[in-house]
Amino acid sequence: MKSGTILLTGFEPFGGEHINPSWEVARALDGEQVAGARVLAWQLPCVFGAALQSLAKALAQHQPQLVLALGQAAGRSELSVERVAINVDDARIADNQGSQPIDEAVIADAPAAYFSTLPIKSMVAALRVAGYPAGISQSAGTFVCNHVFYGMQHQLAGSAVRSGFMHIPLLPQQAALHPGQPSMALETMITGVRLALGVAWRVRNDVRQGGGTIA
């Protein structure tokens, strides 16, 4: 593809935080041209159900050819490209409207899981070569991030739109309030996500190399 639209989503702050790096990265890249495609940022509410409604609005309004959803992941020290979304909501904390589903399906009577349709191994390989801490993650959790990832893959299944999810670490100012938590500078995350988007846009057939885990 030489031109088109990339939808890049991020979340509003949640869990008592006043900032969410996923949105800070997304809005920093809003309007940029990456590999010939225009990046459009969209903020999602950290609310079960409402997040998918907002995503559906963004997809209908912008008609992107590629979607990358970003989410904050405390405890992670690298850019984590997610492999699989599962059909379960199991919230350890309440969302921003007080909802806390336990052992519920994201979408009733839908498949148990969906895989990313992005070239996740090529994205991680390119990030590592460029010096960014990056890896493939086998779980997007069971909170609103996975809820969005699963709902997005379900909505786009069978379409030509490729899509996936990436978790990013806390910002240093967030980690300062949570001793022991890893963090990453905002500019590092911005440039890393920019690189990952370019690879995702250009690469149609992913590389075949090990990216799994033993346990």
Known catalytic residue at 154: no
145 included as an active-site residue: yes
Residue 62 annotated as catalytic: no
Structural domain includes residue 211 = no
Catalytic residue among 24, 46, 78, 167: 167
CATH code at position 9: 3.40.630.20
Q: What's residue 211's pLDDT?
A: 87
Would residue 127 count as lying in a domain? yes
Q: Residue 214 falls within a domain, yes or no?
A: no
Report which of residues 179 and 113 the model is more confident about.
113
Q: Is the pLDDT of residue 82 over 90?
A: yes
The confidence score (pLDDT) of residue 69 equals 99
Question: How far, CA to CA in Å, does 131 sit from each of 124, 183, 189?
Answer: 11, 16, 12
110-127 pLDDT per residue, tens? 999 999 999 999 999 999
Burial class (CB in 10 A: 0-12, 13-18, 19+), 144: buried
* Structure-token match 């890249």, residue found: 29
Q: Is residue 128 part of a domain?
A: yes
Q: What integer is the mean pLDDT of 162-171?
A: 98
d(CA 180, CA 215): 24
Grade residue 162 by pLDDT with cuts at 50, 70 and 90.
Answer: very high
Give the CA radius of gyration of the chain.
16
Asked if residue 38 belongs to a domain, the reply is yes
In a domain, 151, yes or no: yes
Catalytic one among 82, 104, 147, 187? 82
* Range in 77-91, 141-155, 157-171, 201-215 with the lowest mean pLDDT: 201-215
Q: What is the pTM of this model?
A: 0.96
| CB-based contact 183:95 (threshold 8 Å) | no
> Based on the structure, what is the number of domains in the chain?
1
Q: Is residue 213 part of a domain?
A: no
Whether the predicted pLDDT of 9 surpasses 80:
yes
For the sheet containing 33-34, what is the strand order? 33-34, 37-44, 4-11, 66-72, 162-168, 79-82, 134-137
HSE, CB side, 13 Å, CA atoms: give it for residue 18. Answer: 3
Say if 88 falls within a structural domain. yes
* DSSP code per residue over 165-180: EEEE-B-HHHHTTSTT
Using DSSP, state whether 45 is helix, strand or coil.
coil
* Averaged pLDDT, 53-59: 98
Q: For residue 184, what are the domain limits? A: 4-202
Catalytic residue among 24, 46, 145, 147: 145
